[in-house]
Structure 1
Amino acid sequence: MELSDSPQIDFNFPGWPETIFTLTRRGDLSYAWAHSAMVEILSARANEMEMSAFLAALRTKGETIEEMSAFADSMLSFATKVDFEGEVVDTCGTGGDKKGTINVSTTAALILAGAGVTVCKHGGRASSSLSGSADVLEHLGVVIDLGPAGVAKCMEEAKIGFCFAPTFHPAMANVSSVRRGLKIPTVFNFLGPLVNPALAKRQLVGISDPGIAESMVGVLERIGSHSAMVVYGDDGLDEVTTTGNSHIIQLTRDEAGKVSLERYDFDPKSVGIKRAKLEDLTGGDAKYNAGALVSILEGNQGARRDIAVLNAACALVVAGAAKDIEDGLDLADRSISSGGAKRALEQLIETSTRMANPISGR
């Protein structure tokens, strides 16, 4: 089911006591029930205690494909959309791995753009680390809170635009303090990759909780994804890691709409990447991570470049620009060595700054 085809909901929300009680008894919610619960939250009709209990009980039970699909549909019905013609890729992951690494998916997104792939990067500020995608891009000089027209212009001119989650999902302000107070990943972390404002149909999705992998793939299939990889590392990273093996579920939809799923373990040594130590990938605050990102785009070698290039390679496969990860590595390397990735960043800074003029962009 495409997100735009979500059914009309004819369901009377039974109230928070019954909903939370059902979850505490490990009962699953129907699509309509889950959809209506999210509408209550996004419409500011739930108080903080109700939202906290709901999110904690749901996380303890475990989210089903039906529930997550309903939540995603509901969130997108409240969201501001980016109107852009053509295929779009996103590298937004769930976050929440608490490993404090550099901004891998953001760096990979710029490498993709440098390779000529159009990216709509969806993200926000840090939650479990010192620097989220928004923090590092802002430090680099990117205007992060553009509206739809500004983001679309960045995608047109720089091959990459950034959708700042609070700008495109304003109703989420109703739950932000609850999420901060809980200090645990909630379903909203997992929903981030599923509610891209440009409705990206090609995605590399890193997850912090391996238990959500099958549900995430199931939701991606249900909402009409054309191609996706759901990935996590043995080391707990929500990326394709270079410290050991990664687990990948790859979704491919053919022209007839038939979906195939492939599950496999990936060893970076199989494509000539040297194993790293987790401390080699450690990041810091926005200033530190911005420096690391620029260093990679300028061609400096090392473990940080390796993990960024590897994740870009996987995203290039998802984008349909590379036939396999090894081919993707070649394209990603060329994006850096040719200067394309750095030019994409420079153009993103220039275009976003120009579009920040209230008359032209926001």
Structure 2
Amino acid sequence: MPSAPTWPALITTLIEGRHLSVSESTWAMRQVMRGEATPAQLGGLLVALRASGETVDEIVGFRDAVLEEALPLDADPRALDIVGTGGDPYGAVLNISSVASVIAAAAGVPVIKHGNRGASSASGASDVLTALGVDLSITPERVAEVLRETGITYAHAALFHPGFRHAAATRRELGISTLFNVLGPLCNPARPEASAVGVADLSRVPLMVGVFRTRGATALVYRGDDGIDKLTTTGHSHIWEVSRGAVTSTTSTRSSSGSHGLPSRRSSARAWSRTRR
């Protein structure tokens, strides 16, 4: 009979260049979400995973634990989530996914957007929506009602995943992209059938695509070759379409819009939100 997982054993496994199983990953993230992991244990896990590179099995295990601990969102899953990993070299200058979600909903596509405040970026979706005056403190029941009434709603990660608060300080102090950047787009509590996900780190694209394949989900995964988790206007964008377990990839070129590239400094959520009003 295998022994129960322990933090020293799991971190040693990663340091030695091996990887965690789905069940080991689920155990570790369950400890984090329940507040039973210390900051040192969580920090060790995040750094070791970043050094070794996460696997699809590890991300599946982490995702399963997060969804297991989540508050339920009783909404029609025939909807779309548009989200990005953050963690790009520009500090997520613009939170485009929030605007894209509104545009998609206006075109008649039901949208259940999932997001949080920025941890490795300057303007998370929750920061932008707060600056725009959106009340993020409504109940899960009201979140579902808003979808039925308007065709779009927002699942604030801090509301549906209260266990994330146990990782917040460690993530901020590390100040690097971690497994949570990959997890966020995969942990929408409504589990919508379709996703459009921007991935800043090219090495993590196979992870995202692999997890969607294991779910049999429909998804578009994309990134700009300038390193942003968006379809870029400054170069080429690479797009991976996942449908019924199959993956196809395409590359698109920038439009002739005359754009001058991304600004190098960060924009605050409040300043950016003023341009959207």
Pairing 1:63–2:54 present: yes
What is the CA-CA distance between 1:196 and the residue it aligns to?
0.3
Aligned counterpart in structure 2 of residue 245 of structure 1, from 236, 243, 254: 236
Pairing 1:40–2:31 present: yes
Residues 98, 128 of structure 1: 8 Å contact kept: no
CA distance in 1, matches of 2:120, 2:62: 22
Aligned counterpart in structure 2 of residue 210 of structure 1, from 202, 207, 211: 202
Local SS of the residue matching 1:175: helix
Aligned counterpart in structure 1 of residue 254 of structure 2, from 268, 283, 286: 268
Deviations 1:274-311 (A, max 9, x none): 252223697622222112223xxxxxxxxxxxxxxxxx
Partner of 2:162: 170
Local SS of the residue matching 1:196: coil
Local SS of the residue matching 2:102: helix
Give the partner amino acid of 2:65: S
Local SS of the residue matching 1:197: coil
What is the CA-CA distance between 1:146 and the residue it aligns to?
2.0
Aligned counterpart in structure 2 of residue 89 of structure 1, from 80, 83, 87: 80
Residues 98, 129 of structure 1: 8 Å contact kept: no
Give the partner amino acid of 1:167: L
What is the CA-CA distance between 1:133 and the residue it aligns to?
0.9
Deviations 1:247-280 (A, max 9, x none): 1111112xxxxx22101211133xxx52522236
What is the CA-CA distance between 1:42 and the residue it aligns to?
1.7
1:104-115 pair list within 5 angstroms: 104-115=96-107
Q: How many residues align?
A: 276
Query: Compared with structure 1, are the counterparts of its residues 135 and 246 closer, same or farther at alpha carbon in structure 2 (3 Å cutoff)?
Result: same
Deviations 1:66-109 (A, max 9, x none): 11011101100000121112511001111111414222110000
Gaps of 5+ in 2: none
Percentage of matched positions with identical amino acids: 36
Residues 231, 240 of structure 1: 8 Å contact kept: yes
Higher radius of gyration, 1 or 2: 1
Aligned counterpart in structure 2 of residue 192 of structure 1, from 184, 188, 210: 184
Aligned counterpart in structure 2 of residue 288 of structure 1, from 268, 271, 276: 271
CA distance in 1, matches of 2:129, 2:238: 28
Partner of 1:122: 114
Pairing 1:201–2:193 present: yes
Pairing 1:149–2:141 present: yes
Pairing 1:17–2:3 present: no
Deviations 1:15-35 (A, max 9, x none): 111111110111011111111
Residues 233, 241 of structure 1: 8 Å contact kept: yes
CA distance in 2, matches of 1:247, 1:147: 37
What is the CA-CA distance between 1:63 and the residue it aligns to?
0.7
Residues 79, 170 of structure 1: 8 Å contact kept: yes
Partner of 2:128: 136
Partner of 1:326: none
Give the partner amino acid of 1:214: P
CA RMSD between the two structures: 1.8
Gaps of 5+ in 1: 1-9, 254-258, 295-362
Give the partner amino acid of 1:260: A
Query: Compared with structure 1, are the counterparts of its residues 220 and 83 closer, same or farther at alpha carbon in structure 2 (3 Å cutoff)?
Result: same
Give the partner amino acid of 1:267: T
CA distance in 1, matches of 2:235, 2:60: 32
What is the CA-CA distance between 1:177 and the residue it aligns to?
1.0
